[in-house]
């Protein structure tokens, strides 16, 4: 009953096997091998256009270097207050980009397009003292497990275009969002106006497979140097390429995301029916937030369930009553039906 | 006949197998799992004292963050002109540490202690305009395949102590140096006065396994934040831990280094006897630099040998005559006797 | 009728004269002259304890380098949302300190101590992902012209001490706050728990005279290098020292601040009685914020008055009705009674 | 007999007077006043083309921000080993530009164009690991008082153009070089291929008057934000503008430079005839380097002369014999004939 995070899982056997199979032989280093190039081509195929792809070590690196690539002195990147770049990256986006984050409110973990318009207007391009708008970043799926609809991404992209701002998507849980919406990778990204994507494989069954994807390769020219100077260029880059090779083969990545979402669906359904718990938000991907009685939480922990208590959002101080707690449950490719059944039994 | 670099090899089967075996189950993320802690303990055992260990993604990260951890405004890090930090890291050490490198000459790729004393004296601690000495970094084995003797490290460390400077060792090829000297890890590091070590596993049979080792854990307190802000904290950290687990098991790491050094020995012996080639420098680890006739180089390449032509050092302009070229040959755990025999045959 | 900003004034004649008188002769450069040292001693006298003083070029430099001197990786500096560091310095504090700002609400431009306690608690010292509290900065007088009472500074300092955080005061309008409270420099700073002060002279009658003051000189050791590396060490440093010499002579600085506060008092009194205007906030220093009918604003501008329209605070959207506007009026040593009378006449 | 540095002088009376005269009245802040704009126009007139001008606080700021404005990740700026940016700015150019300096040898303090070609060739634009050439900076007059001829600047500029590199000139002693060559400002800069100039007024009679000049204003667009974020935008910017106003009036700046050069000429002539001293290098501006007997140096110091002993260049270890010392003598607008006569008398 490991629901602490999808990064507590290891690697899916097929991906691990593919990596193992790659270990022999020799290949050019630093991302220039045939396998690296095959995977780059695979990304272009998946996204239905020529893309530039850069492997990096962590999701934090993918986000930070993406934002760094579009920065300017005095620039401001706009994100949701609960975004990973704001809450969980120890200032790395600011450090690498030399820019500041400004947060834009919105319900259910998503930036509100009207609030974005208002906020961006406070940072015009000649705002020498105050700072100027430089980029917008959204998280798909969001940090609270919700998913931007295509129309919602359109609305954000419209504000970006009107203000000449590049749009970055933090896709640490890209696949979970994709199968939740049931759309194609192209439909959820560049067809909506997304310029740069942090494409995460780690949380969905890889060991360590994160990529920055530029939908306009022309804009990626500086990234080779930005990445190398950031100490993020792997010598044996094919160890990432091999993971992606297994990840993409026969649509494994989508199957894994469907599995974790399905496990989350079962959790949601069970929680809705439980007397000791209720859903905090209507999530759609592999994260479930439940308001649960403290006694049920204690029972679950005693029986070995792993999960994190979650801070009450500042905007929803009334969310939880005195004898309750807010918890986060994350499913992964490795979550089993028994895990879910076992956890739900604790709520009875 | 792949002699381009030891990072053209994949992963040793035992390490790849150990990683594969780790893929199941769940474990705490971000370096807190039991396996992570087991490996940290293993490092302490190997170095015969309590050490603090930080996994990072690349050797460049290990070097850059090591130097960053001991920097100060206006600080200068001293290195050999051919050091990896100076030549091959795209300015990452400067970027992360906010400090400048100053190079100190010395024959055979090693800092000359007298030259170091002279150079450090130019940067006293109150040199507000010129900058002040902050750290010394040496590479073991060096970039040209030579190895500092214990006495040579002592001499450097003596200068460091006299000037209150921390001593960092770039051990991207630590194991190759260790078995070349036939000493213990402790003898080659903290017993000599080394404070911080970049411990490399990637070039010696791992996929991606680099660690920063602090011999005084008290000095490592800020590194947790330095690493996280540098986007170098792996979520599934155990994928590195597992590689090190295989790497250290039954002394595999030393066996692999002995093998590559032995392959280099055979190359050296063969080149010394060849009429079309000679050794550029008396190297001792798994890198061999040969001055070879252009025709022999052509022959080797035609037969499929992979190696890099190497720039003539500025300090040795006469090294190579007109019909010759300087090449670098690097052996690895995966180099075979047949590879060596085949290459030497090209020189006949 | 120049009320746009106190930095639209030139230099007070006595300060300009003192600077002129200094132009002859020779003196040691880079802050080591006798005059520099005399002024440092003068600061110690004014603050009734040994302080370390660093002249810099701008208030932005004073704030940014102050915060840089107490930073750490992943550190967070806390400030009011309307603070100059947050609103008007183009990200310089983040750039120099490598740290992020977090804003803490509070009415009338002042940080609320309870809100500070709550906010700081979100950034504990081991918050590797979220970031950790590093410093608190308050502005005295605030950006909206109010002044922290001694008790209010005490309350902030208590939170700082409880959390081990250094307290910085942005004193761009230090003198105006001081005479508004009628207390001594020591009472408003280190006796309250302030550790570092940005001491501004420019807005109160100097050309360019800003200083960073450390109340514990031991904590200032790195500042020499931080300042030099930031390109803020003046060669002919005595041109700043001379201004401060004139500034402090016979209490000129306090007289000038009293004058500008008095002019602001007259503006406040006049506005309270005007039918076309009212005060936005009960300010106490040399800044007056008025809600004024658009027609009266037009009249004043037509008659040559200079002032800025001010953005409506996000926290007070109802502040201004449709036919009104919010304006800022700043007085200085150079403001005359006629300027004030002339402006008030426009409101009649 | 103050020959320690030209920054030991104060301000020329005409400049000090002009600044004093400016102290009254009100004017728009942050470089937007009429006087600021008049001076910008004056720069364009002096340089015979439209230029963009940015006042900053120090020569270090001018150099650092100039180089920052043309940097790129992994970029390298080329300078002479004795350049101010390399020797005397505490790493500020690296800090602001995020780039590394590489030194290029050359006799008499000037970059050798052939050595530059060779060095630049080591940093091609695709040198991901090694770093890539980004800018060249020369110092005019040089740090040892010599002056690049127009042909010598042409030779450097030719290398820059061939490699697509912007050329920066550190003109901390611009006027001294200009009158030494007897050419126009345009001839010594953009007509030669200089792109960006650090124009220094401080050492030649101003208090604090440094400007960055872009000969192609289109390339200056980001500098507004770069400067503000660097805390280098003065509020009462007209205090610099006023100094430049006096500096340029009736060619005062050239007269002052001619005076200091003439004083240096007299020093040079006297030293050549002295039995106890000789010239180290054939300098042409207001810096004189003399090899002087230790006893004569002692005599001069006893009689009150101020000067610095200078480090022996690494490239000329034989320059000075055992009973001699190398000293630097700098003249300024404030140096008198009596100062020179007095000093020369010490050598008799």
* D225/chain A closest Cα distance in angstroms: 6
Q: How far is C164 from chain B (nearest CA, A)?
A: 17
> Alpha-carbon distance A208 to D286, whole Å?
61
Sign of the C-alpha dihedral computed for residues A247, A249, A254 and A257 taken in this order: negative
User: CA–CA separation, A171 vs A70, rounded Å?
Assistant: 18
Residues 6+ apart with CB under 8 A from C29: C235, C236, C237, D4, D5, D7, D8
Strand order in the sheet with D287-293: D277-279, D287-293, D324-330, D308-309
Q: Is the pLDDT of residue C234 over 90?
A: yes
Q: Which residues pair with D45 in a beta bridge?
A: none
Q: Name which of A124, A229, A234 to mutate to probe chain D: the one with the most chain D Cβ atoms within 10 A of its Cβ.
A: A229
A115: which 2 tokens?
A: 């609030």
Task: Quote the radius of gyration of chain A (alpha carbons, Å).
Answer: 20
Q: What is the pLDDT of residues B64-77, one digit of tens each?
A: 999 999 999 999 99
Query: Residue B333's closest CA among B206, B222, B216?
Result: B206
Inter-residue contact D247 to D205 (CB < 8 Å): yes
pLDDT in tens, C172-192: 999 999 999 999 999 999 999
Under an 8 Å CB criterion, which residues of B touch D? Answer: 73-76, 87-91, 94-95, 98-101, 122, 128-131, 311
**What is the DSSP pairing of strand B324-330 with strand B287-293?**
antiparallel
C226 contacts in B (CB within 8 Å)? 73
Adjacent-strand bridge partners of A78: A102, A136
Q: In which region does residue D44 sit, left (phi positive, over 0), alpha (psi from -120 to 50) or beta (all else)? A: alpha
Best of C131, C133, C313, C315 to disrupt the A interface (most A CBs within 10 Å) is C131
- Percent of chain C at pLDDT exceeding 90: 96
- Which residue's structure tokens are 């280093």? A29
A-chain CB neighbours of B23 within 8 Å are: 10-13, 15-16, 207
Tell me the count of C-D CB pairs closer than 8 A.
167
Q: Per-residue pLDDT for D92 more than 90?
A: yes
Whole-angstrom Cα distance, residue A222 to residue D132? 12
> How far C194 CA sits from the closest chain D CA (Å)?
23
pLDDT confidence tier of residue A348, bands split at 50, 70 and 90? confident
Of A129, A132, A229, the CB nearest to D73: A229
Distance from CA of A240 to the nearest CA of C (A): 24
From chain B, pick out residues whose CB is under 8 angstroms from the CB of A225. Answer: 90
With CB atoms and an 8 Å threshold, state whether D72 touches A129. no
Axis-axis angle for helices D150-163, D113-121 (nearest 10): 10
Query: What residues have CB less than 8 Å from D29, skipping those under 6 apart?
Result: C4, C5, C7, C8, D235, D236, D237
Measured distance CA(D329)–CA(D283) in Å, rounded: 11
In whole numbers, what is the pLDDT of chain D averaged over residues?
Answer: 97
Q: Is D255 exposed, middle or buried (0-12, 13-18, 19+ CB in 10 A)?
A: middle
pLDDT at residue B57 in the model: 98
Scanning the structure block, which residue is given the tokens 């956890």?
A: A343
Q: What digits encode the pLDDT tens for the residues D164-180? A: 999 999 999 999 999 99
pLDDT digits (tens, 9 = 90+) for D224-269: 999 999 999 999 999 999 999 999 999 999 999 999 999 999 999 9
Q: How confident is the model at residue A330 (pLDDT cuts 50, 70, 90)?
A: very high
Nearest to C91 among A95, A100, A122 (CB): A100
Contact criterion met (CB below 8 Å) for C210 and C198 = yes
Query: What is the model's pLDDT at position D115?
Result: 97
Question: Which residues sit opposite B329 in a β-bridge?
Answer: B288
Quote the mean pLDDT of chain B.
97
What tens digit of pLDDT does each residue of B145-203 get? Answer: 999 999 999 999 999 999 999 999 999 999 999 999 999 999 999 999 999 999 999 99
Give contacts of A128 with chain C, Cβ < 8 Å: 90
Query: With an 8 Å Cβ cutoff, are A73 and C89 in contact?
Result: no
- Predicted confidence band at D315 (pLDDT cuts at 50, 70, 90)? confident
* SS3 annotation, chain D: CECCCHHHECCCHHHHHHHHHCCCCECCCCCCCHHHHHHHHHHHHHHCCCCEEEEECCHHHHHHHHHHCCCCCCEEEEECCCCHHHHCCCCHHHHHHCCEEEECCCHHHCCCHHHHHHHHHCCCCCCCCCCEEEEEEEECCCCCCCCCCHHHHHHHHHHHHHHCCCEEEEECCHHHHHHHHCCCHHHHCCCCCCCEEEEECHHHCCCCCEEEEECCHHHHCCHHHHHHHCCCCCCCCHHHHHHHHHHHHHHHHHHHHHHHHHHHHHHHHHHHHCCCEEECCCCCCCEEEEEEEHHHHHHHHHCCCECEECCCCCCCCCCCCCCEEEEEEECCCCCCHHHHHHHHHHCC
pLDDT in tens, A98-120: 889 999 999 999 999 999 999 99
- State how far the Cα of A334 lies from the Cα of A256, in Å rounded to an integer: 9
pLDDT band for position A11 (cuts 50, 70, 90): very high
Q: Do C130 and A99 touch (CB under 8 A)?
A: no
pLDDT in tens, B257-304: 999 999 999 999 999 999 999 999 999 999 999 999 999 999 999 999
Mutate to test the interface with B, among D68, D90, D125 (most CBs of B within 10 A): D90
From chain D, the residues in CB contact with C18 under 8 A are: none
Each residue of A296-328: b (16+ CB within 10 Å) or e? Answer: bbebbeeeebbbeebeeeeeeeeeeeeebbbbb
Q: Which of B76, B90, B122 is facing D131, going by the closest CB pair?
A: B90
For A113, the 3-state DSSP assignment is helix
Report chain A residues whose CB lies below 8 A from the CB of D134: none
| Residue B30 with chain C: CB contacts under 8 Å | 128
Give SS3 for B288: strand
Residues of C in Cβ contact (< 8 Å) with D13? 23-24
What is the distance in angstroms between the Cα of B217 and the nearest Cα belonging to chain A?
Answer: 22
> Is the predicted pLDDT of residue D98 greater than 90, yes or no?
no
Tens digit of pLDDT for each residue in D198-226? 999 999 999 999 999 999 999 999 999 99
* CA–CA gap between residue C284 and residue C173 (Å, rounded): 12
Distance between D49 CA and the closest CA of chain C, angstroms: 29
Q: Give the max Cα distance, chain C.
A: 61
Domains located in chain D, CATH noted: 12-251 (3.40.640.10), 257-346 (3.90.1150.10)
Grouping H, G, I as helix, E, B as strand and the rest as coil, residue C242 is: helix
SS3 B77: strand
The answer to whether C132 contacts B225, with C-beta atoms less than 8 Å apart, is: yes
The contacts of residue A69 (CB under 8 Å, 6+ apart) are A196, A219, A220, A222, A223, A226
* CB-count burial class (<10 Å; 0-12, 13-18, 19+) for D151: exposed
Q: How confident is the model at residue D348 (pLDDT cuts 50, 70, 90)?
A: confident
Cβ contacts of D258 within 8 Å, gap of 6 or more: D179
pLDDT tens by residue, A54-96: 999 999 999 999 999 999 999 999 999 999 999 999 999 999 9
* Residue owning tokens 């002479």: D80
Q: Kindly determine whether residue A91 and residue C101, on different chains, have CB atoms separated by under 8 Å.
A: no
Contact A340, A3 (CB under 8 A): no
| Minimal-distance CA residue of chain B relative to A94 | B229
> What number of residues does chain C have?
348
Closest-CA residue of B relative to D101 is B100
Of D28, D207, D231, which has the smallest distance from its Cβ to C61's Cβ? D231
What is residue B30's predicted lDDT score, i.e. its pLDDT?
A: 97
CB contacts of A334 in chain B (<8 Å) are 24, 26
Of B73, B226, B233, the CB nearest to C73: B226
Distance between terminal CA atoms of chain D?
A: 16
Q: How far apart are CA C321 and CA C319, in angstroms?
A: 7
Pairing of strands D196-200, D167-171: parallel
Q: Around Cβ A255, how many Cβ atoms within 10 Å?
A: 15
| Pair of tokens at residue D191 | 């007509």
Q: Which of C329, C342, C267, C327 is nearest to C291 (CA)?
A: C327
**Chains in contact with chain A (at least 3 beta-carbon pairs closer than 8 A):** B, C, D
Per-residue pLDDT, D234? 98
From D13, D19, D57, residue closest to C57, measured CB to CB: D57
Q: Residue B40's pLDDT is what?
A: 97
B-interface mutation test, from C72, C229, C235, most B Cβ less than 10 A away:
C229
User: What's residue A98's pLDDT?
Assistant: 86
Q: What mean pLDDT is predicted for residues B97-112?
A: 94
Sign of CA dihedral D145, D150, D154, D160: positive
What does residue C103 show for φ and ψ, rounded to 5 degrees? -95, 145
* Sign of the CA dihedral with A223 first, then A226, A230, and A234 last: positive
Q: What is the pLDDT of residues A257-269, one digit of tens each?
A: 999 999 999 999 9
Which of D112, D122, D191 has its CA nearest to residue D150?
D191
- Three-state DSSP state, C319: coil
Closest CA relative to residue C89, chosen from C1, C10, C187, C172: C172
Q: Which residue of D has its CA nearest to A229?
A: D74
Using CA atoms, how far apart are residues B333 and A340, in angstroms rounded to an integer? 45
Contact B257, B172 (CB under 8 A): no
The phi and psi torsions of B100 (rounded to 5 degrees) equal -105, 150
Q: Pull the structure tokens for residue A13.
A: 């056997």
Residue B313, pLDDT score: 85
Residues of C in contact with B225 (CB under 8 A): 72-74, 128, 132
Q: What is the pLDDT of residues C73-111, one digit of tens each?
A: 999 999 999 999 999 999 999 999 888 999 999 999 999
Global ipTM: 0.97
Query: What is the helix (H) or strand (E) element at residue B162, kind and residue range?
Result: helix B150-163
**DSSP per-residue letters across C72-138:** -TTEEEEE-TT-HHHHSSTTHHHHHH--EEEE---GGGS--HHHHHHHHHTS-TT-TTT-EEEEEEE
What's the burial of C129, exposed, middle or buried (CB within 10 Å: 0-12/13-18/19+)?
middle
Q: Do B98 and D101 touch (CB under 8 A)?
A: no
pLDDT tens for B216-267 read 999 999 999 999 999 999 999 999 999 999 999 999 999 999 999 999 999 9
Closest of B10, B12, B5 to residue B244, by C-alpha = B12
Q: Is the pLDDT of residue C348 over 90?
A: no
d(CA B253, CA B261): 12
What value does the mean pLDDT take over residues B15-25?
A: 97
Cross-strand bridge partners of residue B101: B77
């Amino acid at each position: 009953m490991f629901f602490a995070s999808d990064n507590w899982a290891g690697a899916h056997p097929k991906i691990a096997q593919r990596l193992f199979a790659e270990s022999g032989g020799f290949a050019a280093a630093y991302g220039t091998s045939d396998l690296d190039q095959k995977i780059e081509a695979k990304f272009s195929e998946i996204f239905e256009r020529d893309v530039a792809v850069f492997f990096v070590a962590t999701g934090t690196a993918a986000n930070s270097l993406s934002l760094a690539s579009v920065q300017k002195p005095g620039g401001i990147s706009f994100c949701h207050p609960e975004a990973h770049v704001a809450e969980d990256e120890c200032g790395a986006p600011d450090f690498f980009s030399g820019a500041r984050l400004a947060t834009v409110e919105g319900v259910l973990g998503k930036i509100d397009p009207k609030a974005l318009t208002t906020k961006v207007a406070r940072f015009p391009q000649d705002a020498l003292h105050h700072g100027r708008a430089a980029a917008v970043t959204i998280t798909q799926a969001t940090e609270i497990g919700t998913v931007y609809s295509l129309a919602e991404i359109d609305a954000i992209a419209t504000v970006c275009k009107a203000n000449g701002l590049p749009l970055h998507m933090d896709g640490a849980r890209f696949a979970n969002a994709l199968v939740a919406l049931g759309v194609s990778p192209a439909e959820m990204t560049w067809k909506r106006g997304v310029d740069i994507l942090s494409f995460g494989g780690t949380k969905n069954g890889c060991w360590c497979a994160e990529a920055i994807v530029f939908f306009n390769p022309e804009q990626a020219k500086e990234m080779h140097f930005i990445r190398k100077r950031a100490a993020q260029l792997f010598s044996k880059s094919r160890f990432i390429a091999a993971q992606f090779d297994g990840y993409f083969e026969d649509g494994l990545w989508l199957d894994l995301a469907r599995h974790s979402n399905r496990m989350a669906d079962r959790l949601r359904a069970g929680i809705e029916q439980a007397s000791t718990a209720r859903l905090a938000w209507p999530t759609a991907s592999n994260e479930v937030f439940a308001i649960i009685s403290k006694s049920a939480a204690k029972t679950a922990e005693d029986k070995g369930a792993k999960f994190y208590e979650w801070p009450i959002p500042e905007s929803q101080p009334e969310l939880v009553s005195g004898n309750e707690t807010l918890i986060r449950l994350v499913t992964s490719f490795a979550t089993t039906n028994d895990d879910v059944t076992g956890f739900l039994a604790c709520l009875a």
